[in-house]
């Protein structure tokens, strides 16, 4: 049995025009809303219009299984489509942000309820106390921890 809690996903960046029908089917299968967390389910027509307008596609679900969009996220990763996801904290689950920019694995970071990414103090201390790195290397490591290179602003959808 799944736990269900709020999540939002934002899709953007380069998208091959040929997969537009598949993308619309994948979004519709999630049952997410384009309006608010408890809004009506997105329809194919509304999705097609929004995607063709070239904005970031914003989707919400107040009852996402484990605060995720598993099938949609898998679809997006398989096709190298950029997205950001935020899931609220619920019971023993921490809030999290997920960032994906078209290659590798999605980056998962702890987050607060406002969507701000967090890092563990222990991770920062381990870097700062590193015995084998000079100050410049330690500062770069802290910067990469708190502002990873993968966390760039999500661009609006553009067809390629």
What are φ and ψ of residue 118, in 5° steps? Answer: -125, 155
Residue 66 clears pLDDT 70, i.e. is over it = yes
Residue 2 clears pLDDT 80, i.e. is over it = no
Whether 146 maps to a domain, the answer reads: no
Q: Supply the pTM of this predicted model.
A: 0.90
Single out the residue of 83, 56, 92 nearest to residue 150, CA to CA.
Answer: 83
The domain in which residue 85 lies consists of: 4-118+151-159
Q: Out of 3-7, 21-25, 132-136, which region has the weakest mean confidence (pLDDT)?
A: 132-136
Whether 143 maps to a domain, the answer reads: no
- How many domains in the chain? 1
Whether 111 maps to a domain, the answer reads: yes
Whether 139 maps to a domain, the answer reads: no
Whether 133 maps to a domain, the answer reads: no
């Amino acid at each position: 049995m799944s736990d269900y809690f709020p999540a939002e996903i934002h899709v953007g960046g380069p998208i091959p025009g040929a997969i537009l029908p598949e993308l619309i089917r994948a979004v519709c299968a999630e049952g997410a809303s384009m309006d608010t967390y408890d809004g009506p389910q997105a329809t194919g027509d509304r999705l097609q219009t929004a995607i063709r307008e070239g904005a970031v596609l914003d989707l919400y679900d107040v009852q996402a299984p484990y605060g995720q969009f598993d099938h949609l996220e898998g679809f997006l990763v398989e096709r190298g489509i950029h997205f950001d996801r935020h899931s609220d904290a619920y019971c023993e689950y921490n809030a999290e942000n997920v960032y994906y920019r078209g290659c590798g694995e999605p980056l998962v970071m702890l987050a607060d309820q406002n969507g701000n990414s967090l890092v563990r103090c222990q991770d920062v201390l381990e870097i700062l106390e590193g015995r084998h790195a000079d100050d410049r290397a330690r500062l770069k490591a802290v910067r990469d921890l708190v502002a990873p290179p993968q966390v760039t602003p999500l661009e609006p959808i553009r067809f390629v």
